[in-house]
Structures are given as C-alpha cells and as structure tokens.
Amino acid sequence: MNIIRALRTITKMSQNRFAAYLGIPVANIQHWEQGVSTPPSYLVALISRVMKHEGYLSREMTPLEVEALNDPREASAHEHLSPGSEADDIAELIKLIENKTKE
C-alpha cells in the first residue's frame, strides 16, 4: 500500500481534490502514488498533522511511523493488508512498526 494513496483514500478525495486540499500540484500526488518519487517524510508528517486536525485520523503519526510507512523498502509489509478500510490498514501498519521497533 502506498502511504499517500492510503491517506488520500481515508479522506475519500480524488487526487485533484486532495492536491487542492493540501495546496500542492496534483502531479506530485500522482508521482508519489505511482512510485515515481517518494514524498519527503516531513511532508507525510505534515499531512498526518493536518488530517488529525481535520478529524480524518485519530492521532498524528510519529516520525518513526512516518519513516517506516514512507520507506519503499517496507512495501512488503504493506502487501498483506486487505483492500478494505485504509484507516484500519494504517492503524495495522502502525502496530506492525511499533512491534518492529520493540524487537
């Protein structure tokens, strides 16, 4: 799962609307979701903060969670998730990351 796509899906916004919501070019959203490029971790953290403030997320992601979820090498950890609720998927990813950091 792509973290930007997952966050966007939580909002139920199109790529165009999500880009406008964040004030960034839609091409950036498209490139991040297609894996052409990776968004800076600080931007994912900022998106998390905005989405928490707007009520889309119950809490902001920690820097460690942002790094792990934004790391393309961690894509295999994302693949076991169901295509159901992305909010639940993100919560599950956060749990996986928390468990990984305890090891």
* Enclosing H/E stretch for 51: helix 41-53
Better pLDDT: 40 or 85: 40
Whether 44 contacts 61, CB under 8 Å: yes
Residue 48 pLDDT: 87
* % of the chain at pLDDT higher than 70: 67
Q: Rounded to an integer, what distance in angstroms lies between the CA atom of residue 57 and that of residue 37?
A: 24
Contact 57, 48 (CB under 8 A): yes
Give the per-residue pLDDT at 83: 43
Asked if residue 82 has pLDDT above 50, the reply is no
What pLDDT score does 63 carry?
79
Q: Which pLDDT score is estimated for 94?
A: 61
- pLDDT at residue 27, as a whole number: 97
Rounded distance, CA 100 to CA 103, Å? Answer: 5
Structure confidence by residue, pLDDT tens digits, 41-81: 888 889 888 988 888 887 787 777 777 777 666 544 444 44
At 61 the three-state DSSP class reads coil
